[in-house]
Amino acid sequence: MEKLFVVKVGGAVLEDTKTLDEFLQHFAELEGNKILIHGGGRSATQLSTRLGIETKMIDGRRITDEETISIVTMVYGGLINKKTVAVLQSKNCNALGLTGADMNLITAIKRPVKDIDYGFVGDIVKVDNNAFNILINAGFVPIIAPLTHDKKGQLLNTNADTIASSISTAMVNQFDVSLIYCFEKEGVLSDPENELSVISELNRNDYQQYLASGVIHSGMIPKLDNSFKALELGVKSVVITNANSLNSKKGTHLTL
């Protein structure tokens, strides 16, 4: 079975041109089949602030009202996605920038209102693995913005970590899938104040203890929740690491 690398990049990496360029060089050099999912929340927050629109977050997840869905569509689907594609093309990586609406790649439903109304946030219903196969077999490298759609004409803001996990699990019958989350830290830290306190291996029980103690919090929670779910559903390996360690064995390796 062929290998497939599903790589998600986010955080401060996307804000620094030099760091992003170095990461994309590593990604371009990654041999074999690959898909890149990018975030962009910080850029969306910055644009919202410039436009005088308040950003609301709960447990690392963005509340997406009508104004905010317009902003994230511009930032994720436009600026960041196409800039990433252009840089990868300069590195001889045949990138193709897409959202979940393109080719009907990722369908979702608007998250039902329970305790919190998240607005135009999507919960993934289906990833079209056959469509991804067509793209990969044609020699394209899909670059996915964190936007899905409901097949009724509505784009939905969807957590990029969740998209990466969902794509990974959708492809396990066709490929030997490795899921890699890249950001500005060296991995998951046991001490948030100490950049060297990388947890080299993290299982679910230890994760729950770190969660209860508050060591792991905010945006790292959905990342790890999605990681363990991916392992349960057949993804061979999940690593959380620094963007410049993509081709190394560094970072936090997750096990069940």
pLDDT at 60 over 80: no
Give which of 5, 12, 40 is closest to 26, Cα–Cα.
Answer: 5
pLDDT tier at 70, thresholds 50, 70, 90: very high
Report the percentage of the chain scoring pLDDT > 90: 86
Query: How many structural domains are present in the chain?
Result: 1
Give the mean model confidence (pLDDT) for residues 73-91: 97
Question: Which residue matches tokens 């469509």?
Answer: 131
Give which of 40, 15, 12 is closest to 143, Cα–Cα.
Answer: 40
pLDDT in tens, 137-172: 999 999 999 999 999 999 999 999 999 999 999 999
Q: How far apart are CA 205 and CA 57, in angstroms?
A: 27
Instruction: Give residue 11's pLDDT.
Output: 81
3-9/33-38 β-pairing: parallel
What are the C-alpha distances in Å from 102 to residues 153, 168, 170, 222?
12, 18, 17, 25
CB 136 within 8 A of CB 33: yes
| Structural domain range at position 246 | 3-254
pLDDT in tens, 175-212: 999 999 999 999 999 988 898 999 999 999 999 999 99
Give me the CATH number covering residue 198. Answer: 3.40.1160.10
DSSP assignment string, 133-152? HHHHHTT-EEEE-SEEE-SS
Instruction: Give residue 83's pLDDT.
Output: 96
Longest distance between any two alpha carbons in the chain, whole Å: 51
